Copies of this chain bind each other. A is one copy, B any other.
Amino acid sequence: MAAPDATLRGLTGYRIQRAAIRAMARVNAALAPLGLRRSTFSALAVVSDTPGLRQTQLAEALAIERPNLVQIIDDLEAAGLMVRERAEGDRRAYALLPTEAGRAVYARALARLQRAEAALTRGLSPAETQALHRALQIIEDNAGEETGDEIEIPSA
């Protein structure tokens, strides 16, 4: 018997989980000095790149549930990095816009993250990193499909 977790190490899902937990801790550490978490950073990034989008659209882009987005936007608004503006033509909706401060913090956060990314992928060539991204996309897509697994259809 090799390592006690040799069986688990043979499972892609387990490896992704282990790498993700540690990588997320690094990302959090890189963002914390700017008062951001992963969730607030990613929201700020999408809104900065696509100003004016609605909360529902942002939730879909980030693959999070609408209710969970509320606190994220609240935090960004409280920090003065983003504003909710009533959307024209639909008074139920809000258009999300970054403030000047929000754009500045976004740029600083992105720079910090890119340094953290370089540390994370040290030892991987650009081609290997590219291949990693491709593999992760395939897995995300595969995992996002409906399977019908576990849906028992009575045979009569």
Contacts and interface: CB of A to CB of B under 8 A. Distances in A.
Nearest to A49: B7
Given A5-B46, A132-B132, A150 B12 contact: no
B128 A131 contact: yes
A143 B46 contact: no
A143 B62 contact: no
Interface stretch (A24-32, A65-73, A81-89): A24-32
Copies assembled? 2
Given A136-B18, A147-B119, A113 B50 contact: no
Interface string A16-42: 111111111111011001000010001
Contact of A13 (B23, B110, B149): B23
Nearest to A27: B13
Given A5-B46, A45-B7, A144-B22, A15 B137 contact: yes
9 contacts: A5-B49, A13-B23, A13-B120, A15-B132, A15-B140, A19-B20, A19-B136, A23-B143, A129-B135
